Chain A
């Protein structure tokens, strides 16, 4: 195969120089040996040894030596050595390798499990055959597709051992559901946790807990619970989807990346739900991977209506146009070892289904049948097999598969769900479908709530339907039918309301009014409560409160200070009244302090609404309720102040009343209130920069990436163990920034982290400066961080820095480090 090349190479080789260890001399000797006795195994072995010595005698062995050694290895039948040498030659001169050489390399790559390299080598063979106008064997294309699917299947999580929940755990779970139905969320949370404590792999309990936490806005806890569910059952569709949706709303890129992988997984688990493909296409496009977005969009369009295809035409064109951009790779291996021989074919089947091409369903079915043959107790494979058979029109086969799944685990909600969905459209089997939905509901299915409502409505049992759907709305915030359920509940509520008589309506109104008066002091959140729940909001709140402090509290204090006293004296108050009236109620120059104050309160409430919180500033907030009352008081003083400003006199009683009003307003609208608000903001929007926490965060990031954490050297204030800096940004943002900085620095053998305090040269404000130094020689500039915002997570850093009024830069290295990424934020000043 390499004969002509070798002959040329050997002919071009210079004559021996007389030194026995000279590479060229050794090669010539080897060539002579083989030429003399080409079929003598001993001569070939000796020649190989000479060539090995020749290659070792030089730091960069010439190509002809490597190719000659590969030929001799082939002649000796040593395919491992042949492949190794061919690989070395391929690195140096890839064009010199023939198609058979490439096939050897491909087979070797497969043997060592390197599917990517195998695909690459097979690809070379295909390309070479194409260049010569020869058809490549169909088996090569098929082989590449198989290897690609196997490679992708590595990213599909494997399954841990499967243990049905104990009776005690199920009882705790049932108690939690009962408590939840009564609105006793704290008790429900406790019961779900207890249930999980008894049976840690109880998916329904973890799922119910996650849903409850998510509904209460505790996203971190919700994500943890969904992860618990997935750890026990990686194929639990609603946990996959719930976590995908939860993580997609997170600001940091790793979370979004995980979310995308989960959504793909949801598609593989429920290929009968094309709307997921549409959603995935949008998200991959938003993520910046047009290839994956296009793949999913095309899979969706294959079964979409004409209108749907037309509507998505522009998106498709846009994706095709932007395909030049590179795509990232998803997800590594799952955390568990294989627990069943059925797992590999099961994962492979998911990949085939996810691709959605014409042959995918057939290949998936074959893999799944192999999976259940290898392990008949592997329930997820039975379930997916049922789906594939059902899609292929084999309803009886699908039902048989689900019956098998339920024989193995009758407490599995997803199997009951699938059985119910399969039976529902079949003539004469509606009753069995309802019974299956009820079993699913008892097992903890949330989708069963929707389905049972639908069944009840179709039977004319509207009250029962509304009961199911109310539960669905409450218990399945990520539910696939949430919008429909909510609309149905509202529609039916309206109908019921119309049916109720006027007397009932009046009575209800009276009760509601009384309850409203009672509740208005309790409902909603104070500013402090809101910021405790959502510290990230301090960034947007600060400018609104800054304006309020400056315009209303500071200026209000200046205007109103002493007004009560002056009005109570016999002084001519007219000049003061003119100033007060124009500043408080506005003149041509501006809207006035009262309107400014009200606008700021409205802005604050609107801001909270945008972030999903309802504030009760007027009736509940200890700071703002007096402010709102003071603004009302100033409104009430308008007519009397205007009279005085116009030069009219007031009766003594009204003059005293006006003085009292101004005094009451001044007691609230002053700079002390501004101080209270600043303290509140600082407390909610700042955090301590702790060395221990950062060190632990680095270790955690490294663990997540399955890498060892580089040594982290404390520098500056971190090395001095002095008073830690309190940085003016919420802890979650701080963690996001350093999580991304660390994730980008794990290739460095060592890291240094500097903390220092300095002052802005103009404003004198205390600033905390933190520099992460690395020893990675690859270049990085501030423009790369700011300009290519989506890349490598550094864009998240740039975004967070901008949001929190900080600065980011790349600085030269010190103490042997190559460079540093510096972030700077305002810090709370330590008292002197």
Chain B
């Protein structure tokens, strides 16, 4: 059996390092691929379908040009306030990456680092496009997230 291939999309390395350490400690057979932006995620998906995807939400270390989402439409929505539009994209980037990759992620387990507790309807609306989506409760440990990702195997 080949190692589980897990794509981790985040602007830093907190999650991917943590998952790698935990997987090694638990003896789990998993390989982690990190992508720092939508373009890198697309490239990683092009190299093979992952077993699961982990998506961080806030990408405030990512350069503006690499943020996914229709910046012009947001600037118009916010009455020409470009800084506000960029800030919105950065703080919701995980959702925008999910939206952009929704078709390619059909059938793939996706864990979004967002706690949907109290917002179950929001999760349900997102599942209409990505059915195997789940959130990451704020109280959950990294181990719980890893178990969730490996459950797809």
Q: Is B123 an interface residue (CB 8 A)?
A: yes
Q: How far is the CA of A40 from the CA of B65 in the complex (A)?
A: 92
Give the distance to chain B from A593, nearest Cβ to Cβ, in Å.
Answer: 10
| CA gap between A761 and B128 in the complex, in Å | 11
Interface residues of A in 209-261 (CB under 8 A from B): none
Taking the nearest CB of chain A, how far is it from the CB of B95, in angstroms?
4
CB-nearest residue of chain B relative to A679?
Answer: B118
* Contact (Cβ within 8 A) B143 A561: yes
Measured in the bound complex, the distance between the Cα atoms of B60 and A543 in whole Å is 11
Given A579-B21, A829-B118, the answer on whether A671 and B95 have CB atoms closer than 8 Å is no
Nearest-CB residue, chain A, relative to B117: A675
> B126 — which chain A residues lie within 8 A by C-beta?
764
Give Cα distance in the complex from A830 to B122, angstroms.
10
> In the complex, are the beta carbons of B140 and A671 less than 8 A apart?
yes
Please, what's the 1-or-0 string for A763-802, where 1 marks a CB less than 8 Å from any CB in chain B?
1111000000000000000100010000000000010011
User: Closest CB-CB distance, A38 to chain B, in whole Å?
Assistant: 70
CB pair B14 A802 closer than 8 Å: no
Distance A589 CA – B21 CA, assembled complex (angstroms):
20
Contacts of A309 in B (CB 8 A): none
The answer to whether A557 and B141 touch (CB under 8 A), given A786-B79, A807-B77, is yes
Q: Does A554 contact B (CB under 8 A)?
A: yes
Measured between alpha carbons, how far is A675 from B84 in the docked complex, in Å?
24
Mark out the residues of chain A between 19 and 50 whose CB falls within 8 Å of any chain B CB in the assembled complex.
Answer: none
Summarize B's interface: helix, strand, loop or mixed: helix
User: Is B58 in contact with A766, judged by CB distance below 8 angstroms?
Assistant: no
Q: Shortest beta-carbon distance, B88 to chain A, in Å?
A: 8
A759-B138 Cα distance, complex, nearest whole Å: 23
Asked if residues A808 and B138 are in contact (CB atoms below 8 Å), the reply is no
B81: Cβ under 8 A from any A Cβ: yes
The smallest beta-carbon distance between B3 and chain A, in angstroms, is 20
Partner of B121, one of A566, A571, A671, A829: A829
Contacts of A786 in B (CB 8 A): 79-80
A675 nearest CB neighbor, chain B only: B138
Q: CA separation between A671 and B144, bound complex, in Å?
A: 13
Known: A802-B79, A829-B118. A674 touches B138 (CB 8 A): yes
Report the Cα distance A832→B88, complex, angstroms.
27
CB <8 Å contact, A802 and B125:
no
Chain B positions within 8 Å of A547 at CB level: 60
- Residues of chain A lying within 8 A (CB to CB) of residue B17: 579
Q: Give the distance to chain B from A66, nearest Cβ to Cβ, in Å.
A: 51
Which residues on the A side are within 8 Å of B50 (C-beta)?
none
Structural contact, B18 and A559, CB atoms closer than 8 A: yes
Residues of B within 8 A of A675 (CB): 115, 117, 138-139
**Interface pair B120/A831, CB less than 8 Å apart:** yes
Which A363-398 residues sit within 8 Å CB-CB of chain B?
A: none
How far, in whole Å, are A798 and B91 apart by their CA atoms in the complex? 23
Task: Give the nearest-CB partner of B19 in chain A.
Answer: A558
B28 close to A (CB within 8 Å): no
B82 — which chain A residues lie within 8 A by C-beta? none
Q: Which of A546, A557, A763, A801 contacts B95 (CB 8 A)?
A: A763
Query: CB distance B115 to A558 under 8 Å?
Result: no
Query: Would B78 and A829 count as touching, CB distance under 8 A?
Result: no
* A516 interface residue per 8 A CB criterion: no
Say yes or no: B115 contacts A764, CB within 8 Å: no
A583 within 8 A of B: yes
Nearest A residue to B120, CB-CB: A832
Contacts of B141 in A (CB 8 A): 557-558, 561-562
In the bound complex, residues from chain A placing their C-beta under 8 Å from that of B118 are 829, 831
Say yes or no: B77 contacts A559, CB within 8 Å: no
| Residue A688 is within 8 A (CB to CB) of chain B in the complex | no
Interface centre among B60, B69, B91, B119, by most A CB within 10 Å? B119
Would you call A558 and B92 a contact (CB within 8 A)? no
Asked whether B142 is an interface residue with its Cβ less than 8 Å from the other chain, the reply is yes
From B79, B121, B138, A798 is in contact (CB under 8 Å) with B79
Residues 57 to 114 of chain B near chain A (Cβ within 8 Å): 58, 60, 69, 77-81, 84, 87-88, 91-92, 95-96, 99, 113
Q: Are B115 and A671 in contact (CB under 8 A)?
A: yes
B123 touches A764 (CB 8 A): yes
Say yes or no: B92 contacts A671, CB within 8 Å.
Answer: no
The chain B residue with its CB closest to the CB of A673 is B138
Distance between B106 CB and nearest chain A CB, rounded to angstroms: 17
Q: Is there a chain B Cβ closer than 8 Å to A705's Cβ? A: no
Neighbouring A residues of B121 by C-beta, 8 Å: 766, 829-830, 832
Q: Which of B60, B99, B138 is close to A671, meaning CB atoms less than 8 Å apart?
A: B138
Is there contact, CB below 8 Å, between B91 and A766?
Answer: no
Min distance, Cβ A729 to any Cβ of chain B, angstroms? 15
**A832's closest neighbor in chain B, by CB?**
B120
Scan B114-153; emit 1 where CB is below 8 A from any A CB, else 0: 0101111111111000000000011111110000000000
Q: How far is the CB of A343 from chain B (nearest CB, A)?
A: 48
Q: Which residues of the partner chain B approach A561 to less than 8 Å between Cβ atoms?
A: 141-143
State whether the Cβ of A620 lies closer than 8 Å to any Cβ in chain B: no
A764→B122 contact, CB < 8 A: yes
Are A762 and B92 within 8 A (Cβ)? yes
Min distance, Cβ B27 to any Cβ of chain A, angstroms:
13
* A residues less than 8 Å from B84 (CB atoms): 802, 805
Asked if A759 contacts B122 (CB within 8 A), the reply is: yes
7 A-B contacts (beta carbon < 8 Å): A546-B91, A557-B141, A579-B17, A762-B69, A762-B96, A766-B122, A832-B124
Question: Given A579-B17, A829-B119, A831-B118, list of 15 further CB < 8 A pairs?
Answer: A546-B58, A547-B60, A555-B14, A558-B14, A559-B18, A576-B21, A579-B18, A670-B139, A674-B138, A764-B95, A764-B122, A764-B125, A807-B77, A808-B79, A830-B121
